[in-house]
Amino acid sequence: MRFYAHRLNGSAVFTFLALLVAGSFQVLAAPGLDNYKDGREDVPRLSKMEQQVLRVAQATGGTTSVAKTTYDKRNVAAKASLQGDQARTIFRLTLTRGVPAEVFTLADPYRVIVDLPDVVFTLPADAGQSGRGLVSAYRFGHFAERKARVVLDTISPVTIQKATMERSRDGGFDLEIILVATDKESFGTGTGEKRAKPKMRPSMGILSEQENKAKQPDSMGQETDRGEQKVRKKPVIVIDAGHGGIDPGALGADNISEKTIVLAVAKRLKKKLDDMGLFSVFMTREKDVFLSLRQRVERSVARGADLFISLHADSIADARYARTVSGATVYTLSSRASDEQARLMAEKENNADALAGISSTPLEEAVDVRNILIDLLKRETANFSADLSRVLVRKLKNAVRLSRHPIRSADFRVLRQTGTPSVLIELGYMSNERDMRMMAGEKWQNKAANAIASAIRVYFNRINR
């Protein structure tokens, strides 16, 4: 079953359309939705199209209602709750205004996705970390431009029995979604499988063999293009702050999130590199927004990056080792992981898209891996990345604590970039309270950013000799 909510012709009536199991069609109009102009509240008026929709609703047994609401620049989701058991569970999200919503399911793992436009979350920091009934946990946050997303992790396949938007007792609006258990065969791949997959594009952020021949990077930002010399004044560095938006990454004590720490370090690193005046520096994200792994790679490719650095913070789920395992680690790309811990780390980071409600196909994975393996065999990218990792570790050890094995390699999707030396730095362990407290502090962040910036300068000086 798949549910939609639509705003018709830009007017005040939003409707939930549900294709029911029995084959009947209902149109439910969410009450109390805004109809405003220049900040003034107006009486909602229905267009001819909306009047027709309402007549259809009445004819099919659907319910309709229209009401006024006060315009508010922010539509805030301030409260969420779960009720029920493992047979039937209700998720309720309270908003200040009614909005169109889209609700669908995905498999591998089983999830329910709720997309909402222009919603700001002010839920408690620990909201969603524990579940109830069919829902084991849920996440929420910014997903795309003017779009928020809630992802409900379910313990088994579920069916969306009902979804409604109704005025709540306190004057807000309740989005209520009723989930019931179903079997694997009935669930299939989920109602949102097709829309959740990114569209295949010719390059998909990965350069083909022909493109590699056309663009052959040289040192310090110079590149040769079909025999014609094009010289950039400065090397291009792309800094990637991991996670963001709906994807918080690892959570530490007091619900401090990985996404917040790595963004803070990324901004400090950019400033230090900008102050050197030697590089053109860009960030994949500069605020708390979600980016898929493919988007991160594509932004790096679009900038023509000479160096790509992805910043993260590690975590260990096993409480027995959380207090003792700590320190920074530098990862490079490899089709075969250097050890089991590196393999598990890559597996976790590569799963970020799935946690946000995005799925990739085996074909996409095969294209990525094939092109990267060609690159690793034909080019010196892997050697440059390895050289950079050694310089980074040498500089970082004088500034921050390192892990027991600070240089590792694995198949990280975000590092799959042909012709661009790329590294992923796990700054420390969010699961280690001491590490987490240090990483959250400005003094530590400045020291880490200084060390990374210094390593980048040494790296480019070395390859430009």
Highest mean pLDDT among 56-65, 139-148, 196-205, 364-373: 139-148
Note the pLDDT of residue 62. 34
User: Does 203 map to a domain?
Assistant: no
Q: Give the residue among 320, 354, 347, 363 at the shortest CA–CA distance from 413.
A: 347
Q: Name the average pLDDT for the chain.
A: 77
User: How does residue 110 score in pLDDT terms, banded at 50, 70 and 90?
Assistant: very high
Domains of the chain: total: 2
Asked if 291 and 405 sit in the same domain, the reply is yes
The verdict on residue 395 lying in a domain is yes
Q: Please, which pLDDT band fits residue 38 given cuts at 50, 70 and 90?
A: very low
Q: 45 and 86 share a domain?
A: yes
| 204: in domain | no
280: its two tokens: 């053109």
When pLDDT is averaged across residues 339-364 and rounded to a whole number, the result is: 79
230 and 186 co-located in one domain: no
- Please state, for a pLDDT cut of 70, what percent of the chain lies above it: 71
Q: What is the mean pLDDT of residues 69-79?
A: 69
Percent with pLDDT over 90 in the chain: 52
Q: How far apart are CA 123 and CA 79, in angstroms?
A: 6
Residue 216: pLDDT band with limits 50, 70, 90: very low
Give the C-alpha separation, 399 to 428, whole Å: 13
Examine the domain organization and report whether 14 and 126 are in the same domain. yes
In this structure, the number of other CB atoms found within 10 A of the CB of residue 186 comes to 8
Q: Which two tokens stand for residue 424?
A: 């992923």
Same domain, 275 and 148: no
Q: Which residue has the tokens 């259809």?
A: 56
What is the average pLDDT across 62-80?
Answer: 57
On whether residue 267 sits in a domain, the answer given is: yes
Top pLDDT among 320 and 110 is at 110
Is pLDDT at 399 greater than 60 in this prediction?
yes
Instruction: Give Cα 410 distance to the centre of its chain.
Output: 21
- Do 303 and 452 reside in the same domain of the chain? yes
Residues 226 and 158 in one domain: no
Using CA of residue 273, residue 275, residue 278, residue 282, what is the dihedral sign?
positive
202 located within any domain: no
Contacts 24+ apart (CB under 8 A), 161-164: 161/1, 161/88, 162/18, 163/3, 163/16, 163/18, 163/101, 163/103, 164/16, 164/28, 164/30
What's the pLDDT at 160?
95
| Rounded CA separation 241/448 (Å) | 14
Domain boundary residue, one of 174, 196, 218? 196
Q: How confident is the model at residue 29 (pLDDT cuts 50, 70, 90)?
A: very low
pLDDT in tens, 267-317: 999 999 999 999 999 999 999 999 999 999 999 999 999 999 999 998 887
| pLDDT surpasses 60 at 20 | no
In this predicted structure, which of 46-60, 189-203, 412-426 has the lowest mean pLDDT? 46-60
Least confident range from 95-104, 209-218, 346-355, 367-376: namely: 209-218
Q: Do both 255 and 185 map to the same domain?
A: no
CB atoms within 10 A of CB 24: 11
Q: In what order do the strands lie in the sheet with 215-217?
A: 215-217, 222-225, 228-231
Of 423, 209, 451, nearest in space to 300 by CA: 423
Rounded CA gap, 351 and 361, in Å?
13
Q: Are 287 and 243 in contact (CB under 8 A)?
A: no
Measured CA angle at 328 (ends 326, 334), to 5 deg:
115
> What does the alpha-carbon distance between residue 465 and residue 461 come to, in Å, rounded to a whole number?
6
Task: Give the CATH number, domain containing residue 249.
Answer: 3.40.630.40
Instruction: Tell me what pLDDT residue 284 has.
Output: 97
Domain edge (last residue) among 137, 162, 196: 196
Assign residue 109 the CATH number of its domain: 2.60.40.3500
pLDDT at residue 212 greater than cutoff 60: no
- The answer to whether residue 343 sits within a structural domain is yes
132 and 227 in a single domain? The answer is no
Last residue of a domain, one of 196, 227, 258: 196
Quick one: CA dihedral 332, 284, 436, 344, positive or negative? negative
Note down the domain range covering 319. 209-463
Is the domain of 231 the same as that of 380?
Answer: yes
Cis peptide before 109 (omega within 30 of 0): yes
In a domain, 291, yes or no: yes
Position 135 pLDDT exceeds 90: yes
In a domain, 186, yes or no: yes
Q: What pLDDT is stored for residue 352 in this prediction? A: 86
Express each pLDDT in 231-278 by its tens digit.
Answer: 557 999 999 999 999 999 998 888 899 999 999 999 999 999 999 999
Least reliable range by pLDDT among 128-137, 311-320, 329-338, 395-404: 311-320
**pLDDT, mean of residues 151-175:** 92
How far, in Å, CA of 140 to CA of 93, rounded?
Answer: 11
Backbone conformation region of residue 23, classed left if phi is above 0, alpha if psi is from -120 to 50, else beta? left
Please report the pLDDT score of residue 69 as a whole number.
35
- C-alpha 304/C-alpha 414 separation (Å) is 15
Cβ contacts of 348 within 8 Å, gap of 6 or more: none
**Residue 93's pLDDT band (boundaries 50, 70, 90)?**
very high
Same-domain status, 80 and 104: yes
Judgement on whether residues 146 and 102 belong to the same structural domain of the protein: yes
**Alpha carbon 195 to chain centroid distance?**
16
